[in-house]
Amino acid sequence: MRAITGGVVSSEPCSLRTAALFLIRFSKSAASHLPSSDCHTYLRTVTDATRQLGRFRKELGARQLQGDANFDAHGYEDPVDGRRRHQDQESEGGMSVAADGSHRDSAAGAELDLASGKKKAKKKKKNENPQEDRAVARADSHIPPSPEIATEKRKKKKHPNKEIIVDVKVEEELVSEKKKSKKKKEKFHVKLEEDVNAVEEKIVNGSEERVARTERERKKKKHEQEEGRTEVVKEEKTIADGDLDIEKKRKKKRDRGDIYDNGSELENQEMEKSRILIIGGTGHIGKHIVTASVRLGHPTAVLTRDSAPSDPAKAQLIKSFVDSGAAIIKGDVLDHGSLVKAVKSADIVISAVGPRQVGEQTRIIAAIKEAGNVKRFVPSEFGSDVDRLHTVDPAASLYAVKANLRRLIEAEGIPHTYISCNCFAETYLPSIGDVTAIRAGPPATKITVLGDGSAKAVFVVENDIAAYTMRAVEDPRTLNKILYMRPPANVLSHNELISMWEKKTGRTLQKEHVPEEDILKWIKEAAFPLNILLSLGLSTFVRGEQANFDIDLSVGVEATQLYPDVAYTTVDEYLNGLI
């Protein structure tokens, strides 16, 4: 179309109507089937020829006007008198003037002027000296006329009235041609206006149709969104009311070893799965995330410094990853090249590095920015909400690093989800919440209680943390938000946890309460890892910072409300496994 339109306007600028005329005539001609380059040449030729014809007509009209002006200048106002006067001059002086008043030859003009002057002199001196007049006439008769005048005289003698007749005919033809041309122009303008109206009507109709289609799509999308919100409200209401049927179904699934509803599994299988890269996959929470990712059918890769470690337990863990279908990528967070290469192979990056490597996650952020393909990043937090924790060192410094990482991720514009899973059940429940006896097993007679034991804490089993995490990484509802995990049955105070255990075992434990001021002294004197466990315990079991606030839905969502089909393990069920 650019070649065709260029053919119309390439020589000289033209009006929109003229361009439309050329394009309409061109579309109806056989030339419209030519290649674009030939169409361009054809239209340029036609356009230039049309313009030349227009110029020729203008010049012809100008010449006619000039002829009329010359005709009037010589006094031929009346055609009849002018013809008589013209003939008399020719017969008397040999003058020849074309009827259209065109310019005379220079030599012939001189002779005509001489003859005219002599004629006037004759008339003046006619009565004075007739003999002299006859002598002058005899002398004039001997002046040889020019060839042009002689030829013109012969023509006039044969056809004296031909020129006037021809002029009248030509004038009539011109008038007739002007009328025909005017009628053609009127027909053309009418036809052009009809074509333009037709095109405008098509454009208007097409625009109206597009607007109507867009409106239908908008209404359909709005209806789907309203249905989705209705379903979410129904699910939230069901969980809030503590529906017994759902709890029974969850219990049956746990008895069978199922974590997800069959319907959800089928839905997940039908969806295209994102590629997952897990950094720190051999750590405490990382190994559970690898298992959950593979189970959901994601192409899963684990970044590890050593694909064949000397530690038998770690080697066995990596072998289990490979056997389950996960890929092992050799690389290191400290090696930027290998890190970028690994990140480029994934859609979602999950960091599960331990406390000592939390600060190195800035390198992961830099690799994600360079790769430019990551759809979601989950940094290693997996604990209390880092923006709500208020404690002392060493936990305060650790959580300050995590908070700074949040600000860096947000500043870089990286899509993210933060995981606030609160207490690892496998870390705190075996000691029945005694942070001074982690990994020592259930207490026999005594138990240490930080504070008065009334603050609420939240306990989530690691398998459930991994399950909720993997459900959230592709969920648009968790994009750029905090995923809080607060299973209703697992929000307990330390006193409630101890009482539950005592009922199951039939033994009463002796409680040793430690006030906050003594805890602060103890933290300063204790070595790692007890000092960090005590500082975390101060926030969790004394100040109750995991459950003492309502979730702001503009920045966070709650996992069990988003995914009610996930059958989480309750504290009561976990404790049954310890007996």
Provide the edge-to-edge strand list for the sheet that holds 376-378.
327-330, 300-304, 276-279, 348-351, 376-378
DSSP secondary-structure letter at 144? P
Strands 491-493 and 456-460, by their bridges, are antiparallel
* Burial label, 480 (beta-carbon count in 10 A; 0-12, 13-18, 19+): middle
CA angle (532, 394, 537) in 5-degree steps: 40
User: Which H or E run includes 484?
Assistant: strand 481-484
Angstrom CA distances, 478 to 92, 137, 286, 553, stand at 115, 123, 20, 11
User: Which H or E run includes 266?
Assistant: helix 262-270
- Catalytic residues, which ones? 402
In sequence order, the 6+-apart residues with CB closer than 8 A to the CB of 469 are 289, 292, 350, 378, 419, 421, 483
* Burial label, 408 (beta-carbon count in 10 A; 0-12, 13-18, 19+): middle
User: Across-strand partners of 378?
Assistant: 350
How many Cα atoms sit within 13 Å of 237 on the Cβ side?
A: 6
Q: Is 451 left (phi over 0), alpha (psi -120 to 50) or beta?
A: left
**What is the C-alpha separation between 249 and 188, in angstroms, rounded?**
81
Q: Is 94 left (phi over 0), alpha (psi -120 to 50) or beta?
A: left
**What is the C-alpha separation between 396 and 532, in angstroms, rounded?**
9
Question: How many other CB atoms are there within 10 angstroms of residue 87's CB atom?
Answer: 13
CA angle (127, 133, 139) in 5-degree steps: 175
User: Which H or E run includes 450?
Assistant: strand 446-450
Question: How many other CB atoms are there within 10 angstroms of residue 537's CB atom?
Answer: 28
Tell me the one-letter amino acid at 325.
G
- The 3-state DSSP class for residue 449 equals strand
Question: How many other CB atoms are there within 10 angstroms of residue 303's CB atom?
Answer: 25
